[in-house]
Amino acid sequence: MQSKAYISVDNQFIIGNLYISDIKSAIGFLFIHGWRSSDKKYIPLAEKCSQKGLVSLTLNLRGHVNSPFPLKNFSREDHLYDITTSID
């Protein structure tokens, strides 16, 4: 099952896709795109992981893809914070 994920970070948000299987597993994957990229290429892999019973989350960090926040406003440290917040 896929659902949109909105993760709050510093009064803003990260948009992602959460894939959960009917099979329960304690193993999960976080797919993080590269600079000036998106989660698009990771979606098929996240779907396959879900079919095998794993939980997967793909992210679009702040400033990427359809984010309402401009990329120029964020540093690599900001994106690292996005990632650690998503893990938490």
**10-40 tens-digit pLDDT:** 898 888 999 988 777 678 899 998 877 888 9
What pLDDT is recorded for position 21? 81
Q: Are strands 12-19 and 55-60 parallel, antiparallel or unpaired?
A: antiparallel
Q: Which two tokens stand for residue 78?
A: 């900001």
What pLDDT is recorded for position 45? 93
Unique residue bearing structure tokens 């990229």: 37
Over residues 74-80, the mean pLDDT reads 91
- DSSP H or E stretch at residue 60: strand 55-60
pTM for the model: 0.81
What pLDDT is recorded for position 33? 87
